[in-house]
């Protein structure tokens, strides 16, 4: 599908220019990486699932009043999005202790948090995405006060919308990562929300239905990703 020039090749997606400079074509790949790119692999049809899941979730979020970059899905792997100036701050929201938080605070994975935690990371592969706080983001000029407020407010609202959806399909939304960008002066949701960027546990079996299957060599990654897409589609078709 891509007809324009390749502008950027990331770990999970390629970004192409379009005839309209305000729009980009985003192509989702099957490539998977973990641990700062040290572990590399392929999850079959991951690109198709992540494109579908992201667009379903972004449409739901739009209905709930969250503006996203999505213009339209072009085909199974490609979507047209607004060309944003990405804010280089990754926003992680957590409902249950897992991953790097479990290590940092010395608590078992699975501890439910009474209130969500928001963490900020500087999006910089060379520096291994270090954790930062609002003061770093402000002082370095990565985001203004107003933008930081908007980002965190949106992250909490997105968390509520997604928790409700995942709850209805028997999945625990453990944590997830968001990216935001600026478009015509507004801070809007960018990138993707998929099993690559969330931790999703089946509520009955606690089976992992996300990228941790790849990170931890648990196998059946493709099946887990498909299962998430199937459950979301079923919930949203009702």
Instruction: Kindly list the residues in this chain that would bind ligand UDP in the complex (CB under 6 A).
Output: 92, 98-101, 129, 175-177, 197-199, 211
Asked if 85 contacts 181 with a C-beta cutoff of 8 angstroms, the reply is yes
The tokens for 200 are 């999703």
The tokens for 204 are 């009955």
Q: Which does 12 bind (CB under 5 to 8 A by kind): ligand UDP, ligand ADP, none?
A: ligand ADP
Q: Secondary structure of 37-57 in the HEC alphabet?
A: CCEEEECCCHHHHHHHHHHHH
Q: Which does 197 bind (CB under 5 to 8 A by kind): ligand ADP, ligand UDP, none?
A: ligand UDP
d(CA 119, CA 202): 24
d(CA 156, CA 185): 21
Q: Which does 159 bind (CB under 5 to 8 A by kind): ligand ADP, ligand UDP, none?
A: none
The region of 8-16, 72-80, 198-206, 210-218 touching ligand ADP under the rule CB under 6 A is 8-16
Q: Minimum distance between the CB of residue 207 and ligand ADP, rounded to whole angstroms?
A: 25
Among 48, 74, 80, 86, binds ligand ADP (CB under 6 A): 86
| Those residues with Cβ within 8 angstroms of residue 174's Cβ, 6 or more apart along the chain or in another chain | 94, 95, 96, 98, 198, 199, 200, 201
Task: State the residues that interact with ligand ADP by CB under 6 A.
Answer: 8, 10-13, 15, 24, 69, 81-84, 86, 179, 181, 190-191
């Amino acid at each position: 599908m891509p007809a324009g020039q390749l502008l950027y090749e990331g770990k999970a997606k390629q970004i192409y220019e379009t005839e309209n400079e305000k729009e980009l074509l985003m192509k989702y790949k099957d490539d998977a990486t973990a641990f700062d790119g040290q572990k590399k692999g392929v999850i079959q049809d991951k690109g198709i699932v992540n494109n579908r899941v992201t667009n379903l979730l972004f449409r739901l979020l739009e209905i709930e009043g969250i503006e996203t970059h999505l213009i339209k899905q072009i085909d199974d792997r490609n979507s047209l999005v607004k060309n944003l100036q990405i804010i280089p701050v990754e926003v992680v929201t957590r409902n249950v202790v897992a991953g790097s938080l479990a290590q940092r605070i010395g608590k078992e994975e699975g501890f439910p948090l009474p209130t969500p935690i928001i963490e900020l990371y500087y999006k910089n592969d060379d520096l291994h995405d270090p954790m930062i706080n609002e003061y770093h983001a402000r002082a370095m000029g990565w985001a203004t006060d107003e933008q930081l407020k908007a980002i965190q407010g949106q992250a909490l609202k997105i968390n509520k919308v997604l928790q409700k959806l995942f709850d209805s399909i028997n999945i625990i939304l453990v944590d997830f990562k968001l990216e935001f960008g600026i478009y015509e002066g507004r801070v809007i949701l960018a990138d993707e929300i998929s099993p690559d960027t969330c931790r999703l546990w089946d509520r009955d079996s606690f089976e992992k239905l996300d990228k941790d299957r790849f990170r931890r060599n648990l196998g059946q990654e493709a099946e887990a990703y498909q299962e998430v897409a199937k459950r979301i589609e079923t919930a949203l078709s009702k």
